[in-house]
Homo-oligomer: A and B are copies of this chain.
Amino acid sequence: MCMFSGADIASGPIWMEYIAFLKSMPAVNTQEETQRMTAVRKAYQKAIVTPTHHIEQLWRDYENFENSVSRQLAKGLLSEYQPKYNSARAVYRELKKYVDEIDWNMLAVPPTDSCKDQMQWVAWKRLLAFEKGNPQRIDSASNKRIIFSYEQCLMYLYHYPDIWYDYATWQAKSGSMDAAVKVFQRALKALPESEMLKYAYAELEESRGALQSAKKLYESLLGDAAETTALAHIQFIRFLRRNEGVEAARKYFLDARKSPSCTYHVYVAYALMAFCLDKDPKVAHNVFEAGLKQFMHEPVYILEYADFLSCLNDDRNIRALFERALSSLPQEESIEIWKRFTQFEKTYGDLASMLKVEQRRKEALSGTIEEGASALETSLLDLISRYSFKDLWPCSSKDLDHLSRQEWLSKNIGKKVDKSALSNGSAMTDKSTSAPSGVPTASLKVLRPDTSQMVIYDPRQHHGTSFCLSKNICL
């Protein structure tokens, strides 16, 4: 199967055949007989410390062999090898559990989400982890066994980038940089489209100072203009900045700007590099301003620019930026900008400007899907948000839940309720499934709960096919 197949758990018969072959060698004189006996003994002694299915039979064969050679010598030799054999047998029993989980008939197909594929992946990971734990406490042979396991694993999980990455990383950690590089080269033959493996390979090369090789990998990510991603531009600019300096990065950025794959991200990344690394807020500001000509229609770009201006504490320009963006963005794309504008006035404005921007926001967004017909109504939730700070609220989280639910009700009670919200009704009533833990529904710190998805909690409402509107249904 492979360079070191004697390590395979199924290699017992091969060992046996090999020993039989050695035994059958012709020996014409005593010297040759002694040589043959020594060869057979050596083979047995290797076989009985290898965890194979036939380890017990091999031990018995070895016992018979030694006893047939010399009863006197046998005692010493067998008691010397007994503990090694015991240890190998214990390892075999453990290993067998992992091996039994593996489907040796599986085809090397790309990963799917099927339970079987995932369980096969788990089985291999456990086997590899077991081998990497060096269960037999042997120093010399251990790495060979691990390499053997990785190679065997890749015959099945050939299309799994994480196995290639683990293998290469393990090689690099064991000090075999060249072996690691070879693994990455094979990985890129197996998965030539994998960006992440290219970054991983480039990282290894950069870490060991092989900058030309790393650069070639980055260039291969940028090779085909049609398939280049904005991320590839950004990572290459960073690479240049790290290894060739500010000027090389600047030059590449100027080129990348003209590429069709240059999104606003590239401007943001370059501006932040200028600000954070070169400590040059002026250049950063110019980059953001230059990007605005092209990306005025991207709400996220506006928000990134506003974040940067917040760092400069430049409230006049933040206000001007929001006004510019709001005058050009369509209503449905300005929701986030209005949110941030409101937050901004909460921090930088006085009471009047705070109330004014909230009112303007309501007027501007009335009629969008998010806000209902009652959008112009002042709501107690707005007041609560005005007088909150970080995770502190001027009411209990119960109040907050209650008011959010009421706001949802008052917005949606007239509308036809989305059918999907109803059919999931029974699932949604179970609070534990409606939000992933770590995102407390009561905390409006980052996100307002998406109350449009909310369904009224009522434990009786288990087969909710009609919305609980009239009290007859409720009672």
**Residues in A lying within 8 Å of B, measured CB to CB:** 101, 103, 111, 113-116, 118-119, 121-122, 125-126, 129, 161-162, 165-166, 169, 194-196, 199-200, 203, 206-207, 229-231, 234-235, 242, 265, 268-269, 272, 275-277, 279, 281, 310-311, 313, 315, 347-348, 350-352, 355, 374, 377-380, 383-384, 386-390, 392-395, 399, 401-403, 405-406, 409-410, 413, 420, 424, 427-428, 430, 432-439, 446-447, 449-450, 453, 456-458, 461, 468-471, 474-475
Task: Please give, as numbers and ranges, the residues of chain B lying within 8 Å of A394 by CB-CB distance.
Answer: 195-196, 199, 231, 235
Q: Which of A194, A352, A380, A458 has the most CB of B within 10 A?
A: A380
Q: How far is the CA of A434 from the CA of B206 in the complex (A)?
A: 40
Q: A196-B387, A402-B111 are in contact. Are A116 and B471 (CB under 8 A)?
A: yes
A114 to chain B, nearest CB (A): 8
Q: How far is the CA of A392 from the CA of B428 in the complex (A)?
A: 31
Task: Please give, as numbers and ranges, the residues of chain B lying within 8 Å of A438 by CB-CB distance.
Answer: 447, 450
Q: How far is the CA of A261 from the CA of B289 in the complex (A)?
A: 44
User: Is B469 a contact partner of A395 (Cβ separation < 8 A)?
Assistant: no
Q: Which residue of B lies closest to A304 (CB)?
A: B390
Task: Please give, as numbers and ranges, the residues of chain B lying within 8 Å of A199 by CB-CB distance.
Answer: 383, 386-387, 394
Q: How far is the CA of A377 from the CA of B403 in the complex (A)?
A: 46
Q: How far is the CA of A384 from the CA of B351 in the complex (A)?
A: 44
Known pairs A166-B377, A234-B392, A276-B347; list 20 more (Cβ under 8 Å). Answer: A103-B471, A119-B474, A122-B410, A122-B413, A166-B378, A195-B395, A203-B383, A206-B351, A231-B392, A235-B387, A265-B392, A277-B348, A279-B313, A310-B311, A424-B432, A427-B427, A427-B430, A433-B434, A436-B450, A438-B450
